[in-house]
Chain A
């Protein structure tokens, strides 16, 4: 069936997002299987011509919430870092001016990115993963998570600051 083939063709892109919405590869694989099983059963509710990848991610994020993987709540009392440039300022304080892209790779490791991302609370991480890793627009992310677009923007803003504070902590202590 065409729908199934289209959905399977998107599985790499859906997995890219799923992998960082949950804590482990095994959980991501379980979630992918549940998502595709549900999608194949309910394909009639998909409107042809609309965004199939967003539709699959909507199923996936709902299943993720249903399965109680989101017990961790937003850290309302956690102070915000002073500004969006916190990480670059910290790295420059520790190792001199950063002049080009190569220096970002030199000062931050791949592992530090993955573990810093995993440490961001779920509500914030969901939007970072959808927008930064999944390349979804604010409007798509709002639709997938069923939250207002303004909430996407504020969570993204705050989530990225938390991520950068964590990266700064791992990079320079």
Chain B
């Protein structure tokens, strides 16, 4: 296991694309060197995509109509 706490600290903002350019480069460099973190970053990335798609529940067409009916006639 990677003993570096830095990768864990950078993991979430890295995946959220919220790191500065320098921090992003630092994270990429670490991933190039550390296969333990690389595998886990890939898992986290895949999990993020899976959560995104699994939680997608389309809006009912009837609700769309009800929202449109709320428009205020000016």
Contacts and interface: CB of A to CB of B under 8 A. Distances in A.
Interface of A: 1, 4, 8, 11-12, 15-16, 19-20, 25, 29, 32-33, 36-37, 40-41, 83-85, 87-88, 97-98, 100-101, 104-105, 108, 110, 113-114, 117, 131-133, 137-138, 153, 156-157, 160, 163-164
Interface residues of B, number: 34
Given A37-B70, A133-B52, A104 B46 contact: yes
Contacts, number: 100
Given A84-B11, A87-B47, A113-B55, A137 B18 contact: yes
Contact of B59 (A12, A37, A98, A131): A12
A138 B71 contact: no
Contact of A8 (B16, B18, B67): B67
A36 B70 contact: yes
A28 to B, nearest CB: 9
Contact of B51 (A8, A36, A113): A113
Majority secondary structure of chain A interface residues (helix, strand, loop or mixed)? helix
Contacts of B16: 131, 138, 156
Given A8-B68, A84-B44, A104-B47, A20 B55 contact: yes
Interface of B: 8, 11-13, 16, 18, 39-40, 42-44, 46-52, 54-60, 63-64, 66-68, 70-72, 74
B52 A12 contact: no
A40 B72 contact: yes
A104 B12 contact: no
B49 to A, nearest CB: 7
Given A84-B8, A84-B12, A113 B50 contact: yes
B37 to A, nearest CB: 9
5 contacts: A11-B63, A11-B64, A33-B67, A132-B52, A133-B56
